[in-house]
Amino acid sequence: MATETLTTPFAANEDPRKGTYTPTLIASLFSRFLGAIALHIEAERDIQDVDVWDAAFTGWLREAEESLKVVKTFLRQIRDAQVVRASDVPLLRLAILADALIRSADAGDFQRACGLLTHPTLFRCVETGPVGRRVAAMVKTAVLRLDELADLDTYAPDSFPHTPADVVPGSVA
């Protein structure tokens, strides 16, 4: 039998995982959330300018409702997941912010939550290398998606400055 002999010094061997990105549970869920929120935004855009109570659009309404359920499920799973490394923190913060935007009860709450998007230090990844680049890309995509969400009438219908405060939407002034 042959005896195994190492000819390369141990210190010269590189870790094959070095320089690669291995997602944590939060990062993996967040990546899937980004796809789900994009689908939800498109479904909401489909029904934005139609009469959703018309029988012809019930499928579109159902699709928007189902996509919202998927988004909320991913947000709950992200919030429930354990932070494993520092790169999970900005993703968790964005998930909490997205949840606040989606669940906002009035335009004021929505605008206050949107205001947090202007603070980039809240969502900055402190890690460098492949992990930092990947998380920064996910953060950038999430901010763009949340900006798109803010443009939808479903989430900020009363945020127009020309709406008088004492007039109830849908009533005759």
d(CA 145, CA 95): 12
Query: Does 62 fall in a domain?
Result: yes
Q: How many domains does the chain have?
A: 1
Task: Tell me how far CA of residue 48 lies from CA of 53, 56, 100, 117, 145, in angstroms.
Answer: 12, 14, 21, 24, 17
Tokens representing residue 69 in the block: 């359920």
Query: Does 80 fall in a domain?
Result: yes
Does 68 score more than 90 pLDDT? yes
Residue 151's φ and ψ, nearest 5 degrees, are: -80, -15
pLDDT tens digits along 146-169: 888 888 877 765 554 433 444 333
Query: Does 163 fall in a domain?
Result: no
Query: Does 84 fall in a domain?
Result: yes
Task: Tell me how far CA of residue 96 lies from CA of 122, 163, 164, in angstroms.
Answer: 12, 29, 31
Does 105 score more than 50 pLDDT? yes
Query: Does 115 fall in a domain?
Result: yes
Query: Does 138 fall in a domain?
Result: yes
pLDDT tens digits along 34-65: 999 999 999 988 888 777 677 777 788 889 89
Q: Which residues are within 8 A (CB) of 117 and not within 5 positions of it... i.e. 6 or more apart?
A: 97, 143, 146, 147
CA dihedral 52, 54, 56, 61 (to 10 degrees): 20
Domain, as residue range, for 63: 25-48+57-151
Task: Place 109 in a pLDDT band, splitting at 50, 70 and 90.
Answer: confident
Chain mean pLDDT for the chain? 80
Query: Does 133 fall in a domain?
Result: yes
pTM: 0.74
